[in-house]
Amino acid sequence: MNFNAAFRLDGRIALVAGAASGIGQAAANGLAAAGAFAICADLNAEGSAATASAICAGGGKAESLALDVTEESSVASVVRDTVARHVSIDILVSTPAVNVRKPLLNYTADEFDKVLRLNLKGNFLIAREVGRVMSAQKRGSIILLSSIRSVTVEPGQGAYAATKAGIVQLARALAAELGPVGVRVNCIAPGVVETPLTLPIKSRPEWYNAYAAKNALGRWATADEMAGPIVFLASDASSYVTGAVLFVDGGWTAIDGRFQPPV
């Protein structure tokens, strides 16, 4: 292995779902900085176009597409157009998610469907479509976004946690099925990250600070801090990593976090 080039992605095509903001935007920026051509896709077409424009202004390579990961036809169209323009898809990063915070006994069926439709079905649809391309290529890296909520939960997070645990098993199944043809599939599991999804918490200092105190580093992550782990999983530096869950949580899942006893 050329260790100087292990983390480089020069010449590779990276499709990033959810690139208009948050972790998706950070992923697109990080992948482009490592040399990839970033296809910035999002339901918010204006936002994904802004991400692509900023990458190009900074000397990177990118373009944008409108994408609704919950619609099979939209996913198929984006994947088809990307392959038509660029021949291959070497990297997929899928980040879209939604959360309805309320106790499960108060959930409506429509709310439950909303969370599962985006978080689980959306990831399935795009991973399946890109997986078919990568299977034919006999190479590629798929990176799905799970969460610390795949292993630890709190009141009001039941449906969201179920989808994030489901994403892990989806990724593991794909890793098992696609490994023989050279395609790797992994998950990033963030802790508390400042994104549009968590913005309501930031406006409540007691809640925000309580979450910060739950991890070993005592703070929230920025979305940009997710880019490095994503680039790692996309690159040859992780060539023997598949079916894995990389927790990027400031130590949240490693420590108790609730109380420092006098020892």
- Residue 18 to residue 1: CA distance in whole angstroms: 32
Q: In this structure, what DSSP letter does residue 15 have?
A: E
* C-beta pairs of 82-85 under 8 Å, 24+ apart in sequence: 82/13, 82/15, 82/39, 83/133
DSSP state of 149: G
d(CA 219, CA 26): 19
Q: Which two tokens stand for residue 81?
A: 């157009």
**Secondary structure of residue 139 in the 3-state scheme:** coil
Residues 6+ apart with CB under 8 A from 160: 97, 99, 100, 101, 115, 119, 147, 149
The number of beta carbons lying within 10 Å of the beta carbon of residue 203 is 8
Report angle CA 114, 117, 122 to the nearest 5 degrees: 140
Selecting among 160, 208, 211, 240, the annotated active-site residue is: 160
Catalytic residue status for 211: no
Q: Which residues are catalytic?
A: 160
